[in-house]
Amino acid sequence: MHAIETHSLSKRFPGGFGVHELDLAVPPGSIYGFLGPNGAGKTTTIRLLLSLLKPSGGAIRIFGEALTARSRRALANVGALVESPSLYGHLTGRENLEVTRRLIAAAHRRVADVLQLVELAGDADRLVRTYSLGMRQRLALALALLGEPRILILDEPTNGLDPAGIQELRALLRQLIAERGITVFLSSHLLTEIEQMATHQMAMHQMEMHLGVLDRGRMLFQGTLAELRRRAPPRLLIECDDVARATRELDAAGETVTADGSGQLVVALAERTSAQINRLLVERGVGVARLAPDDASLETLFLALTRGEAARP
């Protein structure tokens, strides 16, 4: 059972489709990067998932429960931070949380719990108008967590944050996934941010980053980051003492080789492994200083999808 699942989800506006025939499949307990350029339909999708927009067609399920105009019970499992946080500047952080706690009938203890979780306990009784942007973003996240959601939907959560604020938010999201098992649906056009989250999750928790790539309202790719990277042929970066000779020898051996402009050679691996390439060069009298795999960046793969290009030049 998926945390979020949609079938042929569509939203038509007077000028055309905001999203068209969208099939989302978000695994529980994962971080799902929802990527696309500005205007791709990401925010429209999120508003549909939160019942802020009525779909023109299709179905939405949250942990297997249908979300419809008549039944929004499934949204009890969802917390969300969409666009800029809406906060009362004349109230303290604690008072902002208390207003929402009463509205959703959450337990009294939750205010203290979420303040501690987002590291605002020491600033809880300051007026929000004195908060930095990063503190406001953390308070908005605390509001989204008040109801103990199983899914957290975030729309461009790092917009406007300085590098320190981005690092704080990134660390908090990692903690929520690792310690609370919350599913995080993260919409962004900041590809490097998604990639850094993915790298950390795979390294620390043996988790796969799941991605959906949207463009002009249509899903271009859905799967793991590893599956997306497999669309790009593996390449090898070579530093050696004789670039011209290495190029001739590799060409003669049937390898596709180019120079990257920085004194390195780039070999598109096909039949031979990196060890075999190294052996070939050494046997032909080329001194190899460094061999390194060249993994495609998420940005390269993303641009290849959204521009309809081949994954690699």
**SS3 category, 181:** coil
Predicted local distance difference test score (pLDDT) of residue 5: 96
User: H or E segment at 135?
Assistant: helix 133-145
Contact present, 289 and 271 (Cβ < 8 Å): no
Note whether residue 89 is domain-resident.
yes
Co-location of 175 and 40 in the same domain: yes
Q: Which of 183, 203, 229 is the last residue of a domain?
A: 229
Predicted local distance difference test score (pLDDT) of residue 74: 92
CATH number at residue 246: 3.30.70
Note whether residue 312 is domain-resident.
no
Predicted local distance difference test score (pLDDT) of residue 303: 73
Range of the domain at 31: 4-229
Predicted local distance difference test score (pLDDT) of residue 97: 97
Co-location of 190 and 252 in the same domain: no
Predicted local distance difference test score (pLDDT) of residue 297: 67
Predicted local distance difference test score (pLDDT) of residue 134: 85
Q: How far apart are CA 80 and CA 28, in angstroms?
A: 16
Task: Give pLDDT tens digits along the chain (313 positions).
Answer: 899 999 999 999 998 889 999 999 999 988 898 988 888 899 999 999 999 999 999 999 999 999 998 889 999 999 998 877 789 999 999 999 999 999 999 999 999 999 998 889 999 999 999 998 889 988 999 999 999 999 999 988 877 777 887 888 778 877 777 778 889 899 887 666 676 665 545 444 455 678 899 999 999 999 987 788 777 777 888 999 999 999 999 999 988 888 877 778 888 876 788 899 999 999 999 999 999 887 666 777 777 777 764 344 4
Note whether residue 308 is domain-resident.
no
Note whether residue 71 is domain-resident.
yes
Number of domains composing the chain: 2
Q: How far apart are CA 288 and CA 282, in angstroms?
A: 7
Contact present, 208 and 202 (Cβ < 8 Å): yes
CATH number at residue 199: 3.40.50.300
Residue 190 buriedness (CB in 10 A; 0-12 / 13-18 / 19+): middle
Predicted local distance difference test score (pLDDT) of residue 110: 96
Report angle CA 85, 89, 91 to the nearest 5 degrees.
Answer: 115
Contact present, 238 and 291 (Cβ < 8 Å): yes
Predicted local distance difference test score (pLDDT) of residue 197: 64
308's CB contacts (< 8 A; 6+ apart) are: none
Predicted local distance difference test score (pLDDT) of residue 308: 62
Give the pTM: 0.78
- Report the candidate in 117, 119, 115, 116 with the shortest Cα–Cα distance to residue 93: 115
19 phi and psi angles, rounded to 5 deg: -140, 150
